[in-house]
Amino acid sequence: MCGIIGAIAQRDITKLLLNGLKRLEYRGYDSSGIAIINSNKKIQRIRKTGNVNKLIKKIKKHPINGKIGIAHTRWATHGKPTKKNTHPHISENIIIVHNGIIENYNNLRKKLKTIGYHFKSDTDTEVIAHMLHNEQKKGGDLKEITKRVINKLKGSYSIVIMDKKNPSILIATKFKSALIIGKGINENFIASDQQALLSITNNFIFLEEGDIAEISCTNIKINNINNKIIKRKTIKSTTKYEVLNKNLYKNYMQKEIYQQPLATKNTIKKYLKNNEIKLNNLEDNYHLLKKIINIQIIACGTSYHAGLIARYWFEEIAKISCNVDIASEFRYRKPIIQKNTLIIAISQSGETADTLEALRILKKYKYLSSISICNTEKSSLVKETNFSLITEAGTEISVASTKTFTTQLTILLILITKISLLKNNKNKKIIKIIKKIPKKIKEILFYEKEIKKLAKKFLNVNNMLFIGKGKQYPTIMEGALKMKEISYIHAEAYPAGELKHGPLAIIDKNIPIIITAEKNKMLNKIRISIEEINARGGIIYILADQTIKFNNKKNITIIPLPHINSIISPIIYTIPLQLLAYHVAIIKGTNIDQPRNLAKSVTVE
């Protein structure tokens, strides 16, 4: 879950590395560091705990410069977020940065200690640095040495290596962790993600599993996993470089909440043409969609909640059975995959390690086809599925997903509607409903004042319950997750019918309960749950369709919302839940865009 970047050029690359590092902060911000070899072949290394801005401030006080360098922003796995554990790590003349987890690092560390190596950190990365240094004594160039070392590693990694003795090349290698080369004119770059390099190039080489690349200013040589020299295709990226700024917003999360009408509008515009659904690269393969008898969705976190909502749609609209699994658990099951099953893998970044591994496990089974739903066009997930549907959310900076979630739901609803129509279900009216999503989101954003007022009630709260039914259950799961992520309140979500199976035991005046209530056939069931909570002295806050009438009671607060069509209600009801979590976090004074202990892209298990 770390971000790495490297550069070799005929100009000073310090600022370039730092700018790229800022773009990679979504991968972790426990600490960051940079190492540059200057014109005197001396290593200049600066490391700092905390986010990249702290590193930038330190470099302003202690300037460094050079034409070759590497940098890293860390999410702590092995070792606490301290300076000694911050990358880059050094072993004499060898300097490296690494993303991933080396599973056998402990045994390797013990062996290195027996031959005289001393460790200054608790990381698995320092093991790789010492192994490279040790192998160098046995001869061979840096690329050959790297090959010998990675053959001994178990786990996942993307690694960039510099050698003080030869400051004319960078070595890069990857296994189960994304790494791309950016091509310039008499300069080349390496990074975890193209976002880090889009300001300087849009020509990229995507390294494949086991590749080892030797990169100089003017040349790129790649050996594949079998050690054969190979020429990887250069791809011109169509991803637009977005200037990162908050404009008039307090932080990125607020900005991204308010970008949702445009993000969903752009997503709908991409796939709806003249009231017809056009699924781009699936256009010539609609015959496959007609064959579907089962859906298997794999995802993690917020994307998992999108999958749970999609299950209701698949069953209700397309009349297809649907299984949804948390990818990190699916990996360790022995699933039964039916014939003509469509696999749907959902991930904002397309680099979620558990989702990728679950997909790779599924490839051992016989299934119909696979589709990724992602916000990153050239991601690993997109490359590993048969087809992809890309959301038009734009860059999302805040760790807590907002616009990527609602665009995922929008694209899932579009896909499900298309499958339903292909199976001759008469659901064309849903297209008109989908087109209303941006307008309805915009409408509900006008209720922010009421939500902000409500948030003040939760300043001293430590625990919350979120209750929903039907499609509103996964919706309130997402609401509870947002509350946990950014306000640090312990929030749990339950289906309304499950209250009497345990949760009622913790109901008291100190645990506020958020309930979503829409006007549908399950409303009376929600009313029963409200009465059960009320009878036990619970404090209830109901986000409800304004046409619903509730009895006035002292411990019940109603926040009326506009009437929403039941099909798109999970998308629209998500917005006030996002706003509630946001304003509670504002009151509590937490770091909203970079909540503690988290990272946006979870690239390790």
- What value does the mean pLDDT of the chain take? 95
Percentage of the chain exceeding pLDDT 70 = 100
Could you count the other beta carbons within 10 Å of the beta carbon of residue 276? 11
The yes-or-no verdict on residue 158 having pLDDT over 90 is yes
φ/ψ region of 366 (left if φ > 0, alpha if ψ in -120 to 50, else beta) reads: beta
**What is the model's pLDDT at position 239?**
79
Q: Which fold has domain 243-426?
A: Rossmann fold (3.40.50)
* Phi and psi at residue 445, to the nearest 5°: -65, -20
End-to-end CA distance of the chain: 9
Q: Considering the chain, what percentage of its residues have pLDDT values greater than 90? A: 90
Show the tokens assigned to 98. Answer: 């690494």
pLDDT-derived band at 553, boundaries 50, 70, 90: confident
Top-confidence residue, 229 or 283: 229
Structure confidence at residue 140 (pLDDT): 94
Task: Give catalytic residue positions.
Answer: 2, 600
Q: Does 602 have pLDDT greater than 90? A: no
Q: How far apart are CA 136 and CA 523, in angstroms?
A: 70
Given a cut of 90, whether residue 383 has pLDDT beyond it is: yes
- In tens, the pLDDT along 338-376 reads 999 999 999 999 999 999 999 999 999 999 999 999 999
Closest CA to 214 of 164, 157, 145, 156: 145
Sheet holding 170-175, edge to edge: 89-91, 94-102, 155-163, 170-175, 212-215, 220-223, 229-230
- Please state which CATH class domain 437-592 belongs to: alpha beta
Instruction: Report the SS3 class of residue 61.
Output: helix
pLDDT band, residue 182 (cuts 50/70/90)? very high
In the prediction, which pLDDT does 343 show? 98
Going by pLDDT thresholds of 50, 70 and 90, the confidence category of residue 427 is confident
Q: Are 331 and 431 in contact (CB under 8 A)?
A: no
Q: Quick one: residue 121, left, alpha or beta (phi over 0 = left, psi -120 to 50 = alpha)?
A: beta
User: 425 burial class (0-12, 13-18, 19+ CB within 10 angstroms)?
Assistant: middle
Two domains, one topology: 243-426 and 437-592: yes
Binned at pLDDT 50, 70 and 90, residue 552 comes out as confident
Would you state the pLDDT for residue 208? 94
The CATH number, out of the four listed (3.60.20.10, 3.40.47.10, 3.10.150.10, 3.90.1200.10), of the domain defined by the range 3-236 = 3.60.20.10
Mean pLDDT score, 124-147: 97
Q: What is the pLDDT of residue 174?
A: 96
519-528 pLDDT per residue, tens: 988 898 999 9
pLDDT confidence of residue 342:
97
Q: Collapse the DSSP code of 386 into the 3-class scheme (helix H, G, I; strand E, B; otherwise coil) and give the result.
A: coil
Q: DSSP label at 374?
A: E
**What's the pLDDT at 297?**
98
pLDDT tens, residue by residue, 70-123:
999 998 898 999 999 999 999 999 999 999 999 999 999 999 999 999 999 999
pLDDT of residue 603 exceeding 80, the answer is no
Q: Which amino acid is at 151?
A: N
What is the average per-residue pLDDT within 431-454?
A: 97
Q: Which two tokens stand for residue 499?
A: 């209250």
For residue 241, the model assigns a pLDDT of: 77
State how far the Cα of 366 lies from the Cα of 402, in Å rounded to an integer.
34
Residue 595 has pLDDT above 80, yes or no: yes
pLDDT digits (tens, 9 = 90+) for 227-242: 999 999 999 988 777 7
pLDDT value of residue 425: 76
Rounded to 5°, the CA angle 378-381-387 comes to 85
pLDDT(243) > 80 = no
3-state secondary structure (DSSP) of residue 197 = coil
Using the predicted structure, report yes or no on whether residue 426 has a pLDDT greater than 90: no
List, for residues 489-505, the tens digit of each pLDDT value.
999 999 999 998 999 99
For the chain, domain boundaries: 3-236, 243-426, 437-592
7 and 215 Cβ atoms separated by less than 8 Å: no
- In the predicted structure, residue 1 carries a pLDDT above the cut 80: no
DSSP string, 198-233: TTT--EEEE--TT-EEEE-SS-EEEE-TTS-EE-PP
Contact 323, 294 (CB under 8 A): yes
pLDDT digits (tens, 9 = 90+) for 29-58: 999 999 999 999 999 999 999 999 999 999
| Rounded CA separation 73/86 (Å) | 8
What does the alpha-carbon distance between residue 412 and residue 488 come to, in Å, rounded to a whole number?
Answer: 30
User: In Å, how far from its chain's centre is CA 456?
Assistant: 30
Task: Report whether pLDDT(247) > 90.
Answer: no
Q: How far apart are CA 28 and CA 399, in angstroms?
A: 10
β-bridge partners, 468: 495
Q: For Cα atoms 228, 231, 235, give the angle at the middle one, nearest 5 degrees.
A: 145
